[in-house]
Amino acid sequence: MTRSDPRQNARLSAALSGAVDLSAVKARAEAANRPADPEGASASQWVLDVTEATFQAEVVERSLQVPVIVDLWATWCGPCKQLSPVLERLAEAANGAWLLAKVDVDANPRIAQLFGVQSIPTVVAVAGGQPVDAFAGAQPEPQVRQWIDSLLEALREQMPGIAAAENGAEPDEQTEEPAEPEDPRFTAAEDALEQGNFEEAAAAYQRILDEEPANEQAKTALAQVRFLDRATNVDPNAVAAANANPDDVDAQLAAADAELAEQKVDEAFARLIATIRSSAGDDRDRVRKQLVDLFDLFPADDPRVVKARRNLASALF
């Protein structure tokens, strides 16, 4: 298996996303049993009320077929009450070309943490198991419609479910490729992720790499597990702390993780490259290693990675 296979990437991303909401079994059970708020309840097949317990199935797995647009809201949020009905109307009109997943952030804080939400409403588009675009704040309906239309146009060729729904077929009616046989080594790692055991999952992926050093899927998974382990524990004030202490290498490493978790990829890379330029010895090598690990979270031809690799080479030599 190679990292260039989008189905494998989506499956891996789904497992990692599941680790966030499955890491505390008790929290999942409580979220699943919590009554839905009447204001946010929905009775549509295209509009889903999602909890931490159902996030994996309703968002990650469904996004392998069509885009899932996640509406992160709260009952006390005035702008949310303006935006949510707009999204619901557009979801109904789309007839399954995309799905709307509504998440009450007060009841499901882990999902908000997963997306690095800083204010609500926040809307995140998920495709192939990964966030692909987002916006924050209430937007007028024409602007929201244009954003969704652009998203669908960009994804239409790689997600046949969009056209199938637009032509009147249900997303579940689409023909899928036969599932690949499960590799028990990866299954063990994914089981550890579902239990929130990052250390055991990392060890499982490392064992695969010890046997197959060229296994790109295991390499990518190991980088993602290590990042997820750090990102779920990062201080919300990490960036401010790092900016106030530019010579503190540990602070810069934590801030880069925080920025990457908020989709600020270029900022995270630039921060670590600047730290490499200003450090030496073991500190410099530690920062370089973490930066290279972050590169492994992305396809090798990602323009941001290509640019950062050039800048890293310049910083080192």
Q: What is the pTM of this model?
A: 0.45
User: pLDDT truncated to tens, each residue of the chain (317 aa)?
Assistant: 333 333 433 433 443 443 333 233 223 333 333 344 444 455 478 999 999 888 988 998 888 889 999 999 999 999 999 999 999 999 999 888 999 999 999 999 989 888 888 889 999 999 988 898 999 998 889 999 999 999 999 888 888 888 888 776 554 544 445 555 678 888 888 888 777 788 898 999 999 999 998 888 888 888 888 888 887 777 889 899 999 999 999 999 999 988 888 878 899 999 999 999 998 889 999 999 989 888 888 877 888 889 989 988 888 87
| β pairing state of 130-136 and 68-73 | unpaired
CATH number of 34-173: 3.40.30.10
Residue 84 CA to residue 64 CA, distance in Å, equals 23
The residues that are catalytic are: 77, 80
Residue 195 CA to residue 192 CA, distance in Å, equals 5
Residue that has been written with the tokens 């109904």 in this structure = 92
Query: Is-contact 122 115, C-beta < 8 A?
Result: yes
Domain ranges, ordered by start, for the chain: 34-173, 235-317
Give long-range contacts, CB 8 A cutoff, 24+ apart: 247-250: 247/278, 249/275, 249/279, 249/283, 249/286, 249/287
